[in-house]
Structure 1
Amino acid sequence: MRVASLTKIPVPGAVPLLGALGLLASLSAAGAQQAAAPAAAPAAAASPAATAAAPPADPAMIAHQRTLVALAVERYIRPAYASVADAANSLRTATVRYCAQPSPVNTDALRGAFGDMLSAWGRVDFLRFGPATVDHRLERVSFWPDPRNFVEKQLRQLLNGDQLAGIDLPRLKGQSAAVQGLPAFERLLLTAPKEGGVVPDVKAPDFANRCQLATLIATNVTDISAALRDDWARPDGYARLLLKPGPDNPVYRSEAQAADEILKALITGIEQVRDLALGPALGTSPDTAKPMRFPFVRSGNTLVLVRANIAGLAQLIEASGIADGLPPAQSWLRASLLFELGNINRVLGTISDPPATMAGDARDRAKITYARISLASVRDTLVGPLASAVGLNVGFNALDGD
């Protein structure tokens, strides 16, 4: 894994502020009349995970909500998905080269490309709304968490059965999401049976089959990633719904509802790391730990993904300006959130043990426990003082009910 990959996605300042403000100027003014429209529930098929309370009457608050959404789209969401598409394409190229010639150089390139893909994906997998929810794209790129080990079971059926002989990309897309994405790819080319972090034996009878399926998966992930990038980039795509709320908008009836989507994404990211990526694997003691529940533990990339999640959350806070320009009584929120998230990533970055063993090491457990406690504190700040400061009333998020 390469720590440098944590900084590959453009920093929040990559898109000039004037560009985002220009985007706002080009929109039809929603106006105070739309902003004050009742927060009626949108159509069930397209409604956000929760409906914000009626927007505040304060025009400055409405303007802040409108601006933070525009900045989030232009300075974070669109660039992040573009980076995912680039990383997926690089992974496909590395896979083709490795399968054609599994040399040490190509093996290292494959592992690096996979780590870079996880670093890019970790910055968007908490954006569980919009294009990511179409055609089960989230699950098809990364079928996780997988406590019942569906990925392993269904891969085994494919590799050991007669379905693989006639499989092509369209047929793969018709298979279960469990065998279409990155967890399946990891098991095929980056993990040998009962071993962690090694590639399979190139002389094994099933190596050619593994390569065939892994190449199709890499192509599938590339196609999905390109679709996500393009759907967000289109002027008439999902971004338009976020940027132009109003009574005729089928998803967001007010600026508050659109801004609430960004805040809920931050909360989803916090809970995803704390309660899904770290908690179940850590257990209550080394004896109850289940290290194979860590995401991407087999390739040793657990912390690559987790640290990318946390870095992405901090970048989204900065890029959107959600905690910028608040009244003096709330001006501490931005620095506090960024400090805590930075500290969490710094502490996790000091863990050097493989993910498969860190849940049983006392020092590593202490660091992970610190991270989980701090993440809970960040969540409390988001749903309490920050939500209040920007006029939002957070309801259910994308993970509620999971």
Structure 2
Amino acid sequence: MDRCLLLPVIADNLEEIAAGLLSDWRDGANGFARVAMTPGPDNDYFDSHAEVTLSFLKALHTGLQSIADIELKPVLRDPQLAFLPPAGRELRTMRITLAALAEIYLGTEDGRGISDLVEQRGVDPALDPLMRKAFRMTRETADTIALPLPRAVRDKTEREKVEKLLTQITALRQIVERRLARAVDLQIGFNALDGD
């Protein structure tokens, strides 16, 4: 079968999946956003607000670790190990992921983020400005990379930007692990990406 004929079918399927995810997140009493906002004994997913926060904290930590360990480190070793090489969309996907991870911390226009809890607890007053600055700088660095990732790591100037991005993401993940978790009185614990 011609691959060109498959692309519209795949695109339609992805659009349907995305619409379903958005619906599952937003819609009605059973939307996951509502489920996350109403922990307790009648909630099948979360018994407490701490469990909800831990879930988002782990998503933030794991997302940063995935970018570093699955998307950046392999391609820096060997450009042929790029995460999405046929489409050349590694950086676009990474930028979208970074934006989503920033929203977990900062919150969205219609919701709260972990930053609200950091401010509310007041344990580490320097943490929120640091997290905001770290996300801003990391996203700015990602935006400066001008070539597709496999080509960028072969170009001296662009490779330096990719290495800088890896350093920033690693630092941000360490801040999440060491300071953010402590500031919200939670432990991230084991991560499946950590290995055995």
Task: Provide the TM-score with structure 2 as the length reference.
Answer: 0.84
1:265–1:397 contact (8 Å) kept in structure 2:
no
The Cα shift of 1:314 comes to: 1.7
**8 A contact 2:121–2:184 mirrored in 1:** no
CA contact (8 A) 1:387 1:394 kept: yes
SS in 2 for 1:330: coil
Matched to 1:302, the amino acid is E
Q: How far is the alpha carbon of 1:214 from its aligned partner?
A: 1.4
What are structure 1's unaligned runs of at least 5 residues? 1-158, 160-208, 284-288
* Partner amino acid, structure 1, of 2:89: N
Describe the shift of the 1:236–1:350 C-alpha distance in structure 2 as closer, same or farther (beyond 3 A): closer
By how many angstroms is 1:390 displaced? 1.3
Equivalent positions of 1:111-260 (< 5 A) are 159=1, 209-234=2-27, 235-260=29-54
Show the 5 A alignment for 1:299-378: 299-319=87-107, 320-324=112-116, 325-326=119-120, 329-378=123-172
Cα shift readout 1:191-248 (whole Å, capped 9, x = no counterpart): xxxxxxxxxxxxxxxxxx2232112111211221121111112222333432222234
State the shift of 1:282 in Å: 0.6
The question of whether the paired residues in 2 share the 8 Å contact of 1:295 and 1:302 is answered with: yes
Q: Deviations over 1:146-205 (max 9, x none)?
A: xxxxxxxxxxxxx3xxxxxxxxxxxxxxxxxxxxxxxxxxxxxxxxxxxxxxxxxxxxxx
Q: Which residue of 2 aligns with 1:272?
A: 66
Counterpart Cα distance in 2 of 1:254 and 1:340: 29
Using the TM superposition, give the Cα deviation of residue 264 of structure 1 relative to its aligned residue in structure 2, in angstroms: 0.9
Deviation at 1:261, TM superposition (A): 0.8
Q: What code does the residue aligned with 1:384 have?
A: R
Deviation at 1:336, TM superposition (A): 0.8
Partners of 1:387 and 1:230 in 2: CA distance: 30
Structure 2: gaps spanning 5 or more residues = none
Q: Structure 2: how far apart are the matches of 1:242 and 1:278?
A: 31
> Aligned residue for 1:59?
none
Pick closer, same or farther for the CA change 1:238–1:314 going to 2, 3 Å: closer
Higher RCO, 1 vs 2 (CA within 8 Å, ≥6 residues apart): 1
Name the aligned partner's letter for residue 263 of structure 1. L
Structure 1 Cα separation of the partners of residues 44 and 35 of structure 2: 8
> In the alignment, is the contact (CA less than 8 A) between 1:310 and 1:345 conserved in 2?
yes
Percentage of identical aligned residues: 33
The CA distance in 1 between the partners of 2:129 and 2:22, in whole Å, is 31
C-alpha distance in structure 2 between counterparts of 1:231 and 1:248, whole Å: 19
User: Quick check: 2:123–2:183 contact (8 Å CA) kept in 1?
Assistant: no
* C-alpha contact 1:323 1:333 (8 A) present in aligned 2: no
> Structure 1: which amino acid aligns with 2:130?
S
1: distance between equivalents of 2:182 and 2:32?
A: 27
1:295 aligned to which of 78, 83, 86 = 83
Larger fraction in helix: 2
CA RMSD of aligned residues (A): 2.2
Structure with higher Rg: it is 1
State the number of aligned residues.
Answer: 189
CA contact 2:75–2:150 (8 Å) conserved in 1? no
Amino acid at match of 1:216: V
